[in-house]
Structure 1
Amino acid sequence: MYETQSQWGDQDVSHAETFRGFARELGLDMARFEAAWNDPATTARVVADRTDTCRFRRPGDPVSSSSSGTTPSS
């Protein structure tokens, strides 16, 4: 994931298929992955984590340099 971050990171486009590919490579249960991916609670958690990171201005955290307000939705 980190090896390919330059290909998908810090962009304002969906990379849902990229992350599905990571999940498949890891052998995750894709039905459970999709359920979690589409669960509003997942989006809320990601937004809360990003908000906290931005609030504490922790340089080097992946979301602190992103100007994107996007969420993991497909």
Structure 2
Amino acid sequence: MRCGHTAARPDWIEALADLRLATSMFGNPLSAALLHGVLTDGSYGRHMERYMRFDVSMCDAESLFAFLERVRRWTG
């Protein structure tokens, strides 16, 4: 299952959402139900809370650098 986020200018969001709906009308209902469950049952929020409390003191320099590079890449 793939799940992603779109970062765009606010005035583009509605058109992008419409495009997404138009190009995936026959998507996988199981994936949609799974994603809905993960987002509404609190498990994703708990995952993100653990992720944000990542203890950098437990890492060696190489692991810390790799982690920070991933964060930089995803946050711009």
Sort the TM-score into its range (normalised by shorter chain): 0.3 to 0.5
- Larger RCO (CA under 8 A, 6+ residues apart): 1
Structure number with greater Rg is: 2
Q: Structure 2 length normalisation: TM-score? A: 0.38
